[in-house]
Amino acid sequence: MGSLEKFNLIDEPWIPVLKGGRVVEVGIGEALLRAHEFARIETPSPLEEAVLHRLLLAVLHRALSGPRCPEDVLDWWRKGGFPQDPIRDYLNRFRDRFFLFHPEAPFLQVADLPEENPLPWSKLLPELASGNNPTLFDHTTEENLPKATYAQAARALLVHQAFAPGGLLRRYGVGSAKDAPVARPALFLPTGQNLLETLLLNLVPYTPEDDAPIWEVPPLRLGDLEGARTKWPLTGRTRVYTWPARGVRLLDEGDGVRFMGYGPGVEPLEATHRDPMVAQRLDAKGNLLVLRLSEERSFWRDFSAMLPRQGGKVAATLEHAENLQGELEDEGLEGRITLRVLGQVSDQAKVLDIRREVYPLPSGLLTPKAEENLEKALKMAEELGQGLKHLAQEVAKAVVGERDRGHGRSPYLEELTKLANSLPLERLYWHALDGAFPRFFARVEEEASLDLWREALRGAALEAWKATRRFLGTGARHLKALAQGEQEFGRLLGELGEEVRT
C-alpha cells in the first residue's frame, strides 16, 4: 500500500462533465477555468452531482474572496468567465493539499489511520451494497468487490463526507457518529445552460472572514479524532461544504482502491449557520425545520412549504438565482434556468432512496402572485387526492361488504385496506401530476396557470378512475361498487369548479 504523493485532484481527470455531447473527465482547475465550455457536470448519481458542485463553489469562494455582492456575479456572467489569475494562484498555493494520496495530508482524509481492519471502499456510497447499506441499485457483495479507480474513489469520498448518516461506529473510542452536514436535507441546485452559469447561479454572496475549507487548516491526525476529541461548530460556508464527517484513508493498491481505513471524523456542534442549498419549513409548533425529501411523494407536493407565505425560508441558492435571473432579463441577457432538487431519503442510519428531481425555475417565483398561485394549486391537488383516497376506500368497502365482520374486525379491515391500496386510483393520479406539475410551474405567475392546473387535475383523476374501473372487474358486486363510486367521483370533479363528463 503506497503513500507517495499521487493523483492531484486539481490536474488529474476525475470530474465528469458533458462537452460536445460526450462525457469527459477533468480536474478542478480545468472545470473552473474552462467552465463555459462544459454543458454541465454529468453523473448518474444525484449525490455526486451535489458534492462536486459544492467543492467547486468552495474553491471559487476562497479563490475570489467572494462574491461580495450580486454585482460581482453579474460582472462575471457578462464577461463569460471567472477571473483566471486568482483561481490559478489559489490552486497553486494549496496544490499540496489536493493529492488523493499523500504521506501527511491526503485530500479530505486522515493520513495515519491504521490499515488494520479496513473496510471496503463501497461503504462510501449508499447506492452500493456494503455492510448496513441496503441494496438499492447494486448487488455487489464484499466478496466480489470491484476495485475503484482513483476518480471513482475521490468522488465517493466527497459523497460520504457530505451525506453519511449518523449511527453506530465503534472505532477509536467513538461509539456512534453524527450525521454529515447534508445527510437529511433536500439540496437546491439551480442550473444554467453551461457549467459557468450553473456555478454563478449558486455563487451566493460570501464573506470569507471566519471561514476556511479543509485544505486551509492543518491536516487532521488520528489523535485529533480519537474519543471525539475534535469538535467544530457547524458554520462557515466552505468549511461546511468540505466537512470531514468521517476519518477516511483510502488504501492505494497501485492502480485503484479496494479498501480504506475508517474512523470517526470531526463532530459538529450546533450553530446558526444556514447552508445556502438548504430550505426550511415552519412546523406546527412554530419551529423552522430543514426541508427533506419524502420516500412516498415527489418533492413538488411540498414546494410551497418553504415559501414566505407559509413561514418557510427558501434556499439561498434559489433566491440568488431568481434575483440573478431578474437582473439578466432587465439587461436582455435572459438565461434558461432549471432547478434540481437533490438528496437522499433515510430512516435513521439506513438510506432508503436517492433522488434527483428537475423543475423549470420560473421568473418571478418569489412574487406574491406566484406564491399564491402555487399555494392554491398544491391545495387543490391535495384535496382532490384525499378525495380519491376516500373514494378508493368506499369502493373497496362496497366490494368487500359486511361478510367478514362475523369473524372479527381485523380480518375485515385487513382485506378492506388491502383492496383499497391495490386500486390504481390514487397512485395513477399522483403519477400523472408528477408529469404535469413542471408545465404548470413554468407559468406559475400567470393568471391562466390555475386553469391549466385544474385541467391537469381533472385529466389525471379521469384517467386514474378509468384505470380503476378496468382493474376492478365486471362481477355484479364490482359493478355495483363502481356505480356508487361514479357518483362520488363526479362530485369530486365538480368541486374543481366545472361540470365534468366521465
Domain ranges in the chain are: 6-180+196-261, 368-496
Residue 139 has pLDDT above 80, yes or no: no
For residue 146, the model assigns a pLDDT of: 87
Instruction: Write out 114-126 in H/E/C secondary structure.
Output: CCCCCEEHHHHCC
Q: Which of 324, 318, 313 is nearest to 69 (CA)?
A: 324
pLDDT of 1 above 50: no
Express as a percent the part of the chain with pLDDT over 70.
Answer: 93
Residues 6+ apart with CB under 8 A from 171: 262, 263, 264
pLDDT value at residue 402: 61
The rounded distance, in Å, linking the Cα atoms of 342 and 45 is 10
Residue 114, phi then psi, degrees to nearest 5: -60, 150
Average pLDDT, the chain: 92
Q: 52 near 158, Cβ under 8 Å?
A: yes
In which band, very low, low, confident or very high, does the pLDDT at 145 lie, cut at 50, 70 and 90?
confident
Give yes or no for residue 68 having a pLDDT over 90: yes
Question: What 3-state DSSP class applies to 494?
Answer: helix
Residue pLDDT, tens place only, 273-301: 899 999 999 999 999 999 999 998 999 99
- CATH code: domain 368-496 is 1.10.132.100
pLDDT at 500 over 50: no
* pLDDT, greater one: 451 or 132: 451
Span 458-486, pLDDT tens digits: 999 999 999 999 998 888 888 988 998 99
pTM over 0.85: yes
Instruction: Judge whether residue 133 has pLDDT over 90.
Output: no
Burial class (CB in 10 A: 0-12, 13-18, 19+), 138: middle
Give the integer Cα–Cα distance in Å for 208 and 238: 9
Distant-in-sequence, close-in-space partners of 358: CB < 8 Å, separation ≥ 6: 338, 339, 340, 341, 438
Helix, strand, coil proportions of the chain in percent (round to 5)?
45, 20, 35
Cell 492505494, located at residue: 252
One-letter amino acid identity for 247?
Answer: G
Tell me how far apart the alpha carbons of residues 410 and 328 are, in angstroms, rounded to a whole number.
Answer: 62
Query: What per-residue confidence (pLDDT) applies to 330?
Result: 87
